[in-house]
Structure 1
């Protein structure tokens, strides 16, 4: 099969498109997916740069966590999926601790049944591919901060892959009383359209000067030192990147198909929408370009690769 591979850690230039990679065998608890679309995440770039060497899978690596595709083979212990099912998910249960050596940037990938959900019927494969890691991160962060109806939240980097979903989940799933979000000038309308009651232009306003305090700050940009200054007493700050300032905390998402099943109705009803960066989707031949773009840190929503062929 064709797959993107790197045999050493480094910049985008270590990525190579190979055409003679062996199609992975499946274990009894796995399905083989014909990949239709995949998405890139910052963790892919950091992993390729060698930042998680100590706990990484062996090289050479086929990168990619997010996948959307069609089941073409099922293991003997698989109960909930059959050949022909359209599925999506994050293929590595732990993002940093022994992630899959053969990820989603390939024509086929083997994935445990428990990490997958059925693709929502109302969205296409490219949209579905951008959801799993980001929406599971958004949801797990909200669960870990004990977010619930009537609470307020400030989302830093509201137009990014995770932030765009935190806004929607907080508002439309968890019943937030107020959602504020930071974005650049050109993306303020987008974050409002996703459910932000207040859109803050971070190029013009400093969050520390905001008049209100929040129950939760979801820091998806790496500003924990400032985030902790705008929480109410007893409030919580979850940080995805950068240095952590107490009482802020960090977690690394655990891939879980049950979360996709839980959120599927909200996606199918249109309350929660995937945001795919308008520069994409990038064709499979341009994965290196897609990574270069992702690593500018200016993407809107998700950088998606489609079609995979």
Structure 2
């Protein structure tokens, strides 16, 4: 295979200062293509998905544990390998890959993310794209699906256990429902969402959808082995746990459960473990109906994500 020529500069969405996304995120048509080290690959980005951590970083909420702009946002990617470092063993030029490019969500995250024509990352966070998935579908998966899976593993979730998912229609919650039901073998899955998303929860595999605008989950007589809090309601969440049960949270610390709160460690092993379930359709990509947004409309994609009304993932495709 002929090695594709890689330009020195590219189109990328860049912010040079922290602030409101619409004010500080700008399209740069002449941004340097990142260089790779011996353990990295350079990926020609085809599709990317947006996550709340992207706009939180832009807003500067996380700057105390972070880095200094200029920076390109974006964690999730699907694309084609165009260059490999000398120590890379897993991939070759031409491989179709996907993953979350940041091994630790807040520990030295990449300054050149995935909302660009090219991004560079370590081979350990990337996996070969399942052949039955499009680039768009694959890019919707990594951060949200890996977060859902890691949370369930952290609390030792297993077959026969019950779970309550707070925020079941969101990016992570939608995968918690699917994984709990179809991968871990939950005995019962209950999930919360707004009125318009009740049928969606059932389609994902929830045995009982709860409309949080009409019913307080913490007042249910039923209690659960695990509560997965994806919305940040720890005080209410603890009221729904069985004696001896557990809670996991991606949204807020939980005073009574100091180990409950976590941030994802991105690892291709998780993607590879879940590949059979993606290939047989037991776990499906969940893409918001308004997606994808074209690369040129990335600001509109962020504006929509920041409403917190998305059902599944907000996508940017094609790139550029």
- TM-score grouping bracket, smaller chain normalisation: over 0.9
Matches within 5 A, 1:160-309: 160-247=170-257, 249-309=260-320
User: What is the CA-CA distance between 1:57 and the residue it aligns to?
Assistant: 2.7
Q: Secondary structure at the match of 1:111?
A: strand
Q: CA deviation at 1:178?
A: 0.4
TM-aligned CA deviation for residue 54 of structure 1: 2.2
**Further displaced range: 53-62 or 86-95:** 53-62
Q: Distance in 2 between matches of 1:69 and 1:57?
A: 26
1:245 CA displacement:
3.4
**Can you list the C-alpha shifts for 1:56-108, whole angstroms capped at 9, x where unaligned?**
13310011000000111111111111111111000111111210010100000
- The offset of 1:122, in angstroms, is 1.2
Check whether the contact 1:134–1:161 (CA below 8 A) recurs between aligned residues. Answer: yes
Would you say 1:83 and 2:96 are equivalent positions? no
1:92 is paired with a residue whose SS is coil
- Aligned equivalents of 1:43 and 1:222: distance in 2? 14
Q: CA deviation at 1:52?
A: 1.5
- Is the partner of 2:70 in helix, strand or coil? coil
Matched, 1:108 2:118: yes
Which residue does 2:18 correspond to in 1? 9
RMSD: 0.9
TM-score by length of 2: 0.95
- Distance of 1:208 and 1:108 partners within structure 2: 46
What are the ranges of 5 or more consecutive residues in structure 2 without an aligned counterpart?
Answer: 1-9
The CA deviation at 1:153 is 0.3
For 1:8, what is the secondary structure of its paired residue? coil
CA contact (8 A) 1:228 1:245 kept: no
| Unaligned runs of at least 5 residues, structure 1 | none
Which 4+ runs in 1 deviate beyond 4 A?
none
Aligned residue number for residue 153 of structure 1: 163
Q: How many residues align?
A: 309
Residue pair 1:33, 1:108 contacting (<8 A) in 2 also: yes
Q: How far apart in 2 are the matches of 1:240 and 1:292?
A: 22
Deviation string 1:126-169 (CA, Å, 9 cap, x unpaired) is 11111100011001100111101110000011010000000000
Deviation for aligned residue 1:243: 4.9
- Residue in 1 aligned with 2:137? 127
Q: 2:107 aligns with which of 81, 97, 101?
A: 97
Q: Give the match's secondary structure for 1:19.
A: strand
Q: Distance in 1 between the 2:254 and 2:31 partners?
A: 40
* Aligned ranges 1:49-60 → 2 under 5 Å: 49-60=59-70
Q: What is the distance in 1 between the residues matched to 2:254 and 2:227?
A: 13
Query: What is the CA deviation profile of residues 112-133 of structure 1, one whole-angstrom value per residue up to 9, with x for unaligned ones?
Result: 0000011111111111111100
Larger mean Cα displacement after TM superposition, 100-109 or 235-244? 235-244
